[in-house]
Amino acid sequence: MFNYVPEMFRAETAETEEEGDKWYDDHTAGRRPPELLPRDEVARAINTEVKAGRGSPHGGVFLDIASRRTPEYIRRRLPSMYHQFMELAGVDITRESMEIGPTCHYIMGGVQVIADSAATAVPGLFAAGEAAGGLHGANRLGGNSLSDLVVFGRRAGMGAAEYIEAGDVATSFNMEEAEAAVKGALDPLNREEGENPYTIQHDLQEMMQALVGIIRTGPELEEAKDKLDEFTERVKNISVKGARAYNPGWNLATDLPSMLTVSRSTALAASLRKESRGGHTREDYPNPDPEFAKFNFALSSDGGNWDSPISAAQSPLLPLPDELKALLEEAH
């Protein structure tokens, strides 16, 4: 069960080489402290504790390193954490425990790309990193985001260069579409009366956290989908004041349609995935279903606009390339 835990963490807590080997070879005999379980398991465990009324004063749990490591070690190995807790909360983590809670950290889903070139379905558009989906499966491992950026950022750059060299680049575009996009972006500035974008963003965050959060259920996801339709109407009625130069309110107004696209996609895919896997936990389907392991949900916009209906199709997972399969077999 623990063979996917990165080497550095294994070295951090195993006190003897035998203990490390034991974890590695016999996954049922592991003596792993809960904070080193995968992120989704830790988040669920915290959620369960808090719901059961055993949470800390601010609705989280306590994490302690002071009892396990010396102050010098903590300051040397966790300098940012030491500094931030000290300055922002007045908590000395070399002496006392930290109050922690799960938060939205990373989106495993994203734009579907061709792995070799990072090309998307839109000609000339390339995506890498957290914007792209599929690389990390259902649960990203610590540290892999950086390697993702380095490897696939390079591929995206090379993919874009090849695309240009191949000469397939569009040399014209639809002026009407461009004008409509400009008008859409400027609408919030021109609208005399309307809603504050910050209010909508805040409400959207609260709703998504409550209904599409760590633990999901079918009825709540359906409720979220209905609410997202209401948000779509609200976003069409944003009004911001000020000019175009460095105007955060206006920037948020132009970001909100994309936030809704992502929220609607997340809610739809989560409602279709009737299983629990990695970062996605369904209370009504608590176990992984092997059938669902065979495909991703690929969502597309029917119409291409941010408020167009979204449809879902099953996109089969590609078979593991032989060289990777060989590497994995070698490791076992």
Partner 1 sequence: MADVTMRIWRGDATGGDFENYTISQNEGEVVLDIIHRIQATEAPDLACRWNCKAGKCGSCSAEINGKPRLMCMTRMDDLPEGTVTVTPMKTFPIIRDLVTDVSFNFEMAKRVPALLPPPMPEGGYRMFQQDVERGQEFRKCIECFMCQDVCHVIRDHEENKVNYAGPRFFIRYAELEMHPLDTNDRRELLKEELGLGYCNITKCCTEVCPEHIHITDNAIIPLKERVVDADYDPVAWLGRKIRRRTKKTAAEASVQPAP
Binding footprint of partner 1 on the chain (CB under 8 A): 80, 83-84, 87-89, 196-199, 202, 240-243, 245-250, 252
- The backbone region for 239, taken as left when phi is positive above 0, alpha when psi lies in -120 to 50, beta otherwise, is beta
Residue 132 DSSP symbol: B
* Cα–Cα distance, 251 to 304 (Å, whole number): 21
Cα first-last separation, the chain: 13
- Closer residue to partner 1 in complex, CB, 219/248: 248
| C-beta closer to partner 1: residue 32 or 234 | 234
Least Cβ distance, residue 227 to partner 1 (angstroms): 21
Q: Which is nearer to partner 1, 51 or 202 (CB)?
A: 202
Active site residue 191: no
- Label residues 133-145 b or e (16+ Cβ within 10 Å = b): bbbbebbbeeeeb
Measured distance CA(288)–CA(281) in Å, rounded? 9
Nearer to partner 1, 54 or 58 (CB): 58
Q: How far apart, in whole angstroms, are the C-alpha atoms of residue 38 and residue 43?
A: 9
C-beta separation of 296 from 317 below 8 A: yes
Least distance from partner 1 to the Cβ atom of residue 247, Å: 5
Residues making up the chain, counted from first to last: 332
* Nearest approach, Cβ of residue 251 and partner 1 (Å): 10
Return the structure tokens found at 255. Answer: 């970001």
- Least distance (Å) between residue 82 CB and partner 1: 12
Q: How far is the CB of 72 from partner 1 (least distance, A)?
A: 14
Q: How far is the CB of 259 from partner 1 (least distance, A)?
A: 15
146 versus 320: smaller Cβ distance to partner 1: 146
| CB-nearer residue toward partner 1: 138 or 256 | 256
Shortest Å distance, C-beta 195 to partner 1: 11
Among 32, 39, 75, 191, which one carries the catalytic annotation?
39
Is the four-CA dihedral 53, 55, 58, 60 of positive or negative sign? negative
Q: Classify 99 as helix, strand or coil.
A: strand
Contacts by 193-198 with C-beta closer than 8 Å and gap 24+? 193/239, 194/237, 194/238, 194/239, 195/234, 195/237, 195/238, 195/239, 196/238, 196/239, 196/240, 196/249, 197/238, 197/240, 197/249, 197/252, 197/253, 197/256, 198/249, 198/252
Long-range contacts of 150-158 (CB under 8 A, 24+ apart): 152/113, 152/115, 152/118, 152/128, 153/128, 153/129, 155/115, 155/116, 155/117, 155/118, 155/128, 156/117, 156/118, 156/126, 156/127, 156/128, 158/117
Identity of the residue, 59 or 303, whose beta carbon is nearer to partner 1 in the bound complex: 59
Q: Which residues are catalytic?
A: 39
